[in-house]
Structure 1
């Protein structure tokens, strides 16, 4: 059953779709609700937890302003999923060679595509289509270039790469034994640089105008200012880059696995959705900027992806267009433990036990991503039956981590 509670300690209420929320996340939500730029209410999704800058799982409508730290530094981070024409029984008995092929084709962690291979390739031509917009941003803000070493090459070479942390590529089986590819990535190093640059600029701007904030990370740009317009241009570019990064990742994965599986096709258009982003929308009688930090848009009949942790279930969902949630839902299970806590609490043996039946790394290097560090995805889904309906339930059988 859906769970909803309301926090009334700020200028506007906070609507929360769970009773499983830590005190520090509640405090962050309370700080958000005190800002004069918030429109109507803040919504917190069932996977809500403390985050850097602002609460993960928060949906934040703002009037004529945007909070860069709420958007965060993995601008445009999100999910991509597509169903293949294969059935589970057609997969090989062991998926080790399939995982190896994906890891060979897709750079993970801090790796990127070799510059010698990118130069003059279709990859580079694809990236150059985005180059003019980025040049215009960097011309106005050369400090962005100074923050990324070998700037012009790096962002191109990272297009079609996974990254690290909670980013992943998976093969999954649905309730009808259909096979899916699902992946999670964002705007890579260039998005991080753009995010950090404008977060610092917003904080400096607030100090210059002597604006008192409940948290310095809630510094914002006001519409009409040069910094606001420049940030909108930059964040739009990073969101487009993240979307194209996932498209290229999917293409690389499809081609990497073909030699190891029976002949297959893609059965439908891939679902490609952000869960760290800002967009212009209309809610409760006003045109506002909606920042979803760890939440996806769930407008009426809109398709979305809600991944569980490694070794659990994930969901393909259809939005119900719930106005109170600002047409949003959770973006995943949500962390219960910090990465540091998980590393201290679990062992490699725990990884093996909690990812039984999944072809994946099972070493200490991914302990921070162990299922036990996350909330129960089934409970998260139970708390948002008024936000989405489940279309497909997916079970991971292969997972590639950064």
Structure 2
């Protein structure tokens, strides 16, 4: 049986019919060499060569595009030993926002506040090319502990018992992009007529996987560094401590070896959360809607995956053109945020995203809700 006559299993968990461009992208993915199974999440939307919101299984090939350039992008959450009442008044919210601006830059640190070295586990692990080492020593250092732009955020939330939680969404910053771009440039034939894959058993495949694992670690350390800064901020301003045992930490852009339905694959997730049985996870809505703490159900048909969020309903350009500042502010009523940057947040308005409750209903076989949270204060980089 030839490679192209093998049947690719694809299963979808959707809130609505797929747009034509998304359907075409998924069909192209199914025709890629060595793809054996595809799981399409309810937050699926178009993004580059491979849609966000998919899990893809292969036997021997690694597809960098099915991980994405923000390798290791993910979520972290932690509870504080205080009720959400802390952020009910404007003075407290304003004080906290000012503290966050000082503690967590969106792009890079000023020279005076930049870390002098990366954490030892990152500094000690070499990357596969001198060019990547240079990026690591420059951008990797200057961006360590920063949030990023776009859909990355830091949000304070209240659970159903009115307890205060922090949720952070951030990734590997410039490092993931540099690593992904390097391996695509140096290994991909030009022009590439099909989705480009690396054989995991080759030196090129091993180099990508090693650099990928470094980016996963960088992104995780980056989120934990920001949590430490936020803890210091709340302690300094309000004498409030975090509860370390409450930490939840996960990522949704990666590839790793997993077994599903008795078959062992390379499982790629691009904007898809690992949802093994009882595995804790975090699924945010938009910056004005509910978020969820979840536990996976381990469904093999979905490659043990779930959505990583609500998913975009509008492309950024469309949202920026069609959503007014007034509409954004109405949709954000009841949530503290820096209204001075409203014009630049229109593409992140709640209405630019799918309905998170519909997404959660569509994936009830993939993950279960442990806790629902409502937004109190949103901090975003622009």
TM-score between both structures, scaled by the size of structure 2:
0.92
* Alignment pair present for 1:138 and 2:123: no
* Alignment pair present for 1:178 and 2:153: no
CA deviations 1:340-382 (Å, max 9, x no partner) are 0001101111111011111113311111101111000000001
* Alignment pair present for 1:292 and 2:269: yes
Secondary structure of 1:349's counterpart equals helix
Given that residues 115 and 141 in structure 2 are in contact (C-alpha distance below 8 angstroms), is that contact kept between their aligned partners in structure 1? no
Given that residues 358 and 398 in structure 1 are in contact (C-alpha distance below 8 angstroms), is that contact kept between their aligned partners in structure 2? yes
Give the whole-Å Cα distance in 2 for the aligned partners of 1:226 and 1:206: 22
- Structure 1 match to 2:372: 393
Q: How many correspondences in the alignment?
A: 372
CA deviations 1:258-279 (Å, max 9, x no partner) are 2333533316241110111111
Given that residues 185 and 246 in structure 1 are in contact (C-alpha distance below 8 angstroms), is that contact kept between their aligned partners in structure 2? yes
TM-score between both structures, scaled by the size of structure 1:
0.88
Give the whole-Å Cα distance in 2 for the aligned partners of 1:38 and 1:361: 45
Report 1:346-365 matches (<5 A).
346-362=323-339, 363-365=342-344
Give the whole-Å Cα distance in 1 for the aligned partners of 2:77 and 2:331: 23
Give the whole-Å Cα distance in 2 for the aligned partners of 1:87 and 1:59: 37
Secondary structure of 1:204's counterpart equals coil
- Structure 1 match to 2:227: 250
* Alignment pair present for 1:187 and 2:172: yes
Given that residues 171 and 397 in structure 1 are in contact (C-alpha distance below 8 angstroms), is that contact kept between their aligned partners in structure 2? yes
Given that residues 74 and 251 in structure 2 are in contact (C-alpha distance below 8 angstroms), is that contact kept between their aligned partners in structure 1? yes
- Structure 2 match to 1:162: 147
Given that residues 234 and 240 in structure 2 are in contact (C-alpha distance below 8 angstroms), is that contact kept between their aligned partners in structure 1? no
Q: 1:117 to 1:99 in 2, by over 3 A?
A: closer
RMSD: 1.9
- Structure 2 match to 1:314: 291
Given that residues 74 and 188 in structure 1 are in contact (C-alpha distance below 8 angstroms), is that contact kept between their aligned partners in structure 2? yes
- Structure 1 match to 2:74: 78
Find 2:362's aligned residue among 378, 383, 393.
Answer: 383
Give the whole-Å Cα distance in 1 for the aligned partners of 2:216 and 2:33: 27
Find 1:37's aligned residue among 26, 34, 39.
Answer: 34
Give the whole-Å Cα distance in 2 for the aligned partners of 1:290 and 1:205: 26
- Structure 2 match to 1:101: 99
Find 2:119's aligned residue among 118, 127, 137.
Answer: 127
Give the whole-Å Cα distance in 2 for the aligned partners of 1:266 and 1:19: 36
Superposition deviation, residue 127 in structure 1: 2.8
Q: 1:263 to 1:132 in 2, by over 3 A?
A: closer
* Alignment pair present for 1:22 and 2:19: yes
Report 1:255-266 matches (<5 A).
255-266=232-243
Secondary structure of 2:125's counterpart equals helix
Farther off after superposition, 196-205 or 329-338: 196-205
CA deviations 1:163-211 (Å, max 9, x no partner) are 101000000001111110000000001111111122233432785xxxx
Give the whole-Å Cα distance in 2 for the aligned partners of 1:99 and 1:19: 35
* Alignment pair present for 1:196 and 2:173: no
Given that residues 11 and 35 in structure 1 are in contact (C-alpha distance below 8 angstroms), is that contact kept between their aligned partners in structure 2? no
Give the whole-Å Cα distance in 1 for the aligned partners of 2:88 and 2:167: 19
Secondary structure of 1:43's counterpart equals strand
Given that residues 115 and 153 in structure 1 are in contact (C-alpha distance below 8 angstroms), is that contact kept between their aligned partners in structure 2? no
Q: 1:57 to 1:119 in 2, by over 3 A?
A: closer
- Structure 2 match to 1:240: 217
Give the whole-Å Cα distance in 1 for the aligned partners of 2:115 and 2:270: 35
